[in-house]
Structure 1
Amino acid sequence: MTTAEEQEKHRQAHSFGAAADAYERGRPPYPPEAVAWLVPEHARTVVDLGAGTGKLTRALRAPGREVVAVEPSAGMRERFSHVLPEVRVLEGTGESLPLPDSSADALVCAQAWHWVNPERAVPEAARVLRSGGRLGLVWNFRDLSVPWVAELDGILRDYAAAPTEDRQVDRLGERFGPVERQRFRWHHPMTAGEVVDMIASRSYVITLEPATREGLLGRVRALLDAERPAEMPYVTECYRAGLRVR
């Protein structure tokens, strides 16, 4: 990756705070079956890395389980605290987790592992997890097999390149055991306004020039007016790996 590409990645990674409200309104949750696959039932302390406004955090909560959120953006943490005031949210990154050694049974990262530096984030995850703990990585993707969703994706690509598609799941190294993968297809009810908010909360849209961004969103609204969808089809892609017993 060139210096220019690294700078653009950094700019996009730190853009979300400016769109925290749109993120909360437009981003989808995560299907319960995906969360059950990612997190062991016996896990009592679970870290939600890159928690954003708490989309995954809500699904991670369970009786007898403590969920600790870690989020680098002040804007996102503020919105998180408004939505989930009972959950502890800490400032931190994948490369610098504000948690003690061997303090968590599971660490889950949703929509964010592609932003981290794995050379630093993998040892940090291993440090925080208890022996035999689990790392879970998850992404929601719009289902492009649906024609109008593919058309929506084409509009986005006319204006901005998506962030790197490298999910970095092949860089967990020897600290973790084999990486398992699972996919879940589902539909999330959404209004046209929520779809626009979802698009507006993407990092590569947030960082566009205002006039360009409004042009993109105008085309998105026109497509939605024509299609009138009531839901968004998603594919949730999950990865999990256990920390090797120390």
Structure 2
Amino acid sequence: MTADSRAHSFNVAADQYAAGRPSYPPALFDFIEQFSGRPLAGSRVADVGAGTGIATALLRERGADVIGVEPGGAMAARFRAMLPDVPIVRGDGNALPLADASQDLITYAQSWQWTDTARSVPEALRVLLPGGALAIWWNTTAFDVPWIREQHQRIAHHCGVKPASRARPDDSNAIRLAGLSGLRVARRRVRWSRVVSLDKHLANIGSRSAFLVLAEDDRSAFLHEELRRLREMFPGEVVEETYVVDLLVATRP
């Protein structure tokens, strides 16, 4: 299964994605403002790979003048339904449909890995104003929580992928992998959690690209067994999901 097919798999589950995916903590946006030296309020921001608008909505709440950029038709339609007053254009980070020197900040929430950094970094630099910033982040697995670590291993095994041993590589590798080695870069990890029903928790799992490319009966069988297992551990049918947001912020000259 190619990375491109996984990237576009979200279109078949736009409603599930919107319903199940976690948000992001305020401390993440606090650090973006601190490192970039600019408040989000009044800043021109492009949220690339915006999906259903989870991060876009938070940026707007902070006062940003934000536009969404999203390649998927179903995801863009869901974005418009959730944020009818926020503009969205079709496109991706490899060829941004935005004017030169038009944005103070470009954000990638859970979406930088779908780009070709040989193209997406120059595109970001083209679109950013002098002194502008690029912010990239992921909600990653809290491996120190035993049940979360064990579930991660089950998911990886079922989907035929190698389970990770920690959230992200070390700082130097993360910067190199992100394609940002020529810029001023900072990295922060922000721990946070949310309490959700088991149904919402499973909707979140089922919205991941590694699941979406599987056959429907294969996905259903895993989620059914996972629900049985979780009900034994959490008879109240709610669970606290713990995340570590891994954030990279880069500023251009």
Asked if TM exceeds 0.5, the reply is yes
Distance 1:75-1:243 versus aligned 2 partners, 3 A rule: same
TM-score by length of 1: 0.90
Instruction: Give me the whole-angstrom Cα distance separating, in 2, the residues matched to 1:63 and 1:113.
Output: 22
Partner residue of 1:9? 3
Decide which of 224, 241, 244 is 1:235's aligned counterpart: 244
Decide which of 177, 194, 199 is 2:200's aligned counterpart: 194
Partner residue of 1:216? 222
DSSP-derived class of the 1:217 partner: helix
Partner residue of 1:22? 16
Deviations 1:8-63, CA, capped at 9 Å, x for gaps: 11110110010111111110001011122124443410110111111111111146
Is residue 207 from structure 1 mapped to residue 204 from structure 2 by the alignment? no
Counterpart residue identity of residue 123, structure 2: E
Residues 102-181 of structure 1 aligned to structure 2 (within 5 Å)? 102-160=101-159, 161=161, 169-170=175-176, 171-174=179-182, 176-177=183-184, 179-181=185-187
Counterpart residue identity of residue 147, structure 2: W
Instruction: Give me the whole-angstrom Cα distance separating, in 2, the residues matched to 1:202 and 1:8.
Output: 15
Instruction: Give me the whole-angstrom Cα distance separating, in 1, the residues matched to 2:62 and 2:23.
Output: 20
DSSP-derived class of the 2:54 partner: coil
Instruction: Give me the whole-angstrom Cα distance separating, in 1, the residues matched to 2:92 and 2:162.
Output: 22
- Cα deviation, residue 154, structure 1: 1.8
Distance 1:53-1:117 versus aligned 2 partners, 3 A rule: same
Counterpart residue identity of residue 245, structure 2: T
Aligned residue-pair number: 236
Identity of counterpart residues, as a percentage? 35
Instruction: Give me the whole-angstrom Cα distance separating, in 1, the residues matched to 2:147 and 2:175.
Output: 30
Instruction: Give me the whole-angstrom Cα distance separating, in 1, the residues matched to 2:131 and 2:56.
Output: 22
* Gap regions ≥5 residues in structure 2: none
- Cα deviation, residue 151, structure 1: 1.9
Counterpart residue identity of residue 54, structure 1: G
Deviates more, 1:48-57 or 1:165-174: 165-174
Is residue 65 from structure 1 mapped to residue 59 from structure 2 by the alignment? no
Instruction: Give me the whole-angstrom Cα distance separating, in 1, the residues matched to 2:198 and 2:229.
Output: 10
Is residue 38 from structure 1 mapped to residue 36 from structure 2 by the alignment? no
- Cα deviation, residue 231, structure 1: 1.9
DSSP-derived class of the 1:17 partner: helix
- Cα deviation, residue 98, structure 1: 0.8
- Cα deviation, residue 162, structure 1: 6.6
Deviates more, 1:51-60 or 1:156-165: 156-165
Instruction: Give me the whole-angstrom Cα distance separating, in 1, the residues matched to 2:116 and 2:3.
Output: 11
- Cα deviation, residue 239, structure 1: 0.6
DSSP-derived class of the 1:35 partner: helix
Distance 1:169-1:113 versus aligned 2 partners, 3 A rule: farther
Instruction: Give me the whole-angstrom Cα distance separating, in 2, the residues matched to 1:172 and 1:208.
Output: 33
TM-score by length of 2: 0.87
- Cα deviation, residue 150, structure 1: 1.4
Counterpart residue identity of residue 19, structure 2: R
- Cα deviation, residue 110, structure 1: 0.7
Instruction: Give me the whole-angstrom Cα distance separating, in 2, the residues matched to 1:112 and 1:163.
Output: 20
Distance 1:86-1:225 versus aligned 2 partners, 3 A rule: same
Counterpart residue identity of residue 239, structure 1: L
